[in-house]
Amino acid sequence: MRGVWRWRMVVALVVLVPLAARGGAVEKPRNIILIGWDGAQRNHVHECLDRGELPALKLLSEEGALVDIDVITGATDTKAGWSQILTGYHPQVTGVYSNGRYHDVAEGYSVFERLKKQFGPDQFVCAAVIGKSGHCGEIKPPFRKPLADAEKEEPAAKGKKAARQPGAGKRKVGKVEEENGVKFLVFGGSPYYTMHKSCDVWDYGLVLNEKVGSRAIQLLDQYKDKPFFFFVHFAEVDHSGHKHGENSKEYNDALISSDAWTGKIVAKLKELGLYDKTLVYVTADHGFNEGQTNHRYAPYVFLGTNDPEVRRAGMRQDITPTILARFGLDLAGIQPPLDGEPLIQPATKPVQKAPEKGGRAKEPGKGKGGRAKKKAA
Ligand SMILES: [Zn+2]
């Protein structure tokens, strides 16, 4: 017996000492905050870090990690980006390929719904505070109606000129389909339409970092007594990139502003005594074309976090699996199987890097891989 106990002691030391040595490690988080810097290009973020302009991201990364995230499926745009990040799936599963090709993500597929299901709708808080409206945040339901009716409703919408969101492009309301000689207007719904219903708060279209950040801080006060998952989305980096270009002072300033608000959120967590129980992840949906005002092919982003368990680079679909694994969910039981894998353990599938000149991110299963293994829902 003594031999067994000695062996157990050795195991305990080997396992526990390195964990303790990492310091400040959140063993099992009570809360997670996912912070989005929409359109933050990896190289530009690193340049800012080198100049000491992003102290909050630097601090988080020093406590945890800063790893590369590549976009290998779906467009390098907002709808494809956040849909992938918030589900852990390729576009073939969510149906969200790009800002122009999408439909409502199927029920139950999002990180919000999975956490609510795991912990109980009343025991666990999910909140989203979103700077954008079109492409991220918007929650239009799916519909199908006779085209004639839709056209009758159209004049009411005229005169109301929607505020243009930089980079949002033309909004496609729906496509026309014909059945038995009757034309219908068909719209598959916003990607976030179903997932938003599981959230206690879903605020979007806030535009300014200041509004997003202060609302998130207010919600931390409101929900501090329950475990929570927050998605906090800052839009100014993307907006200033579209208006002024990736190498502009405005783009740089927007990164600094996003970092400053990230820092204020961290400060609020510390004030509430929650920081030691909260993992904070900062990531982006896509980067920006170097020196340009678009992100047509911008697959290079990052994940900065105070999570010391994050240990490798990954892909956009790995974010939700990481969050779910950190909250202790059994990923093996998830249907359909997640495409991404947690960044807290070695990958079992190849960790792909986006090619330099992709022109367009590849879809898995196309080309030499044969058919996609999952059907779009
Ligand atoms: Zn954009």
pLDDT for the residue 170: 53
pLDDT for the residue 150: 81
HSE (side-chain half, CA atoms, 13 Å) at 81? 30
- Distance from the alpha carbon of residue 339 to the mean position of ligand 1, in angstroms: 25
Q: What is the mean pLDDT of residues 362-375?
A: 39
Which of 26-35, 86-95, 258-267 is predicted with the least confidence, judged by mean pLDDT?
A: 26-35
- Distance from the alpha carbon of residue 241 to the mean position of ligand 1, in angstroms: 8
DSSP labels, 86-123 = TT---HHHHS--SSSS--PPPTT-SHHHHHHHHH-TTT
Q: How many CB atoms lie within 10 A of CB 4?
A: 8
- Distance from the alpha carbon of residue 178 to the mean position of ligand 1, in angstroms: 33
Judged by DSSP in three states, 144 sits in strand
In eight-state DSSP terms, residue 245 is -
pLDDT band at 164 (very low <50, low <70, confident <90, very high): low
Query: 111-137 as b/e, with b when 16 or more CB fall inside 10 Å?
Result: bbbbbbeebeeeebbbbbbbbbbbbbb
pLDDT for the residue 135: 87
Query: E strands within the chain?
Result: 31-37, 65-70, 125-130, 143-146, 175-179, 182-187, 201-203, 228-234, 278-283, 300-305, 314-315
- Distance from the alpha carbon of residue 80 to the mean position of ligand 1, in angstroms: 11
pLDDT band at 134 (very low <50, low <70, confident <90, very high): confident
Q: Does position 368 have pLDDT exceeding 50, yes or no?
A: no
Q: At what angle do helices 249-271 and 55-63 cross, to 10 degrees?
A: 50
State the Cα–Cα distance between residues 184 and 176, nearest whole angstrom.
5
- Distance from the alpha carbon of residue 40 to the mean position of ligand 1, in angstroms: 10
Which residues, listed in sequence order, are joined to residue 128 by a DSSP beta bridge? 202, 231
Judged by DSSP in three states, 125 sits in strand
pLDDT for the residue 17: 46
Average pLDDT of the residues of the chain: 88
Q: Does position 9 have pLDDT exceeding 70, yes or no?
A: no
Contact 37, 282 (CB under 8 A): yes
| Strand 143-146 with 182-187, pairing | antiparallel
pLDDT for the residue 182: 93
Contact 310, 61 (CB under 8 A): no
- Distance from the alpha carbon of residue 87 to the mean position of ligand 1, in angstroms: 20
- Distance from the alpha carbon of residue 158 to the mean position of ligand 1, in angstroms: 26
- 25 Cβ neighbours under 8 A, 6+ residues apart: 19, 308, 309
- Distance from the alpha carbon of residue 143 to the mean position of ligand 1, in angstroms: 26
pLDDT for the residue 374: 37
pLDDT tens column, 137-157:
899 999 998 988 888 876 544
Query: 241-260 as b/e, with b when 16 or more CB fall inside 10 Å?
Result: bbebbbeeeebbebbebbbb
pLDDT band at 370 (very low <50, low <70, confident <90, very high): very low
pLDDT for the residue 358: 65
pLDDT band at 373 (very low <50, low <70, confident <90, very high): very low
pLDDT for the residue 3: 53
- Distance from the alpha carbon of residue 201 to the mean position of ligand 1, in angstroms: 24
- Distance from the alpha carbon of residue 310 to the mean position of ligand 1, in angstroms: 28
pLDDT for the residue 24: 46
Q: Does position 22 have pLDDT exceeding 50, yes or no?
A: no
- Distance from the alpha carbon of residue 103 to the mean position of ligand 1, in angstroms: 19
pLDDT band at 4 (very low <50, low <70, confident <90, very high): low
Query: 27-58 as b/e, with b when 16 or more CB fall inside 10 Å?
Result: eebebbbbbbbbbbbbebbeebbeeebbebbb
Q: What is the mean pLDDT of residues 165-178?
A: 70
User: Can you list the domains of the chain with their CATH numbers?
Assistant: 27-139+198-369 (3.40.720.10), 143-156+168-187 (no CATH)
- Distance from the alpha carbon of residue 183 to the mean position of ligand 1, in angstroms: 33
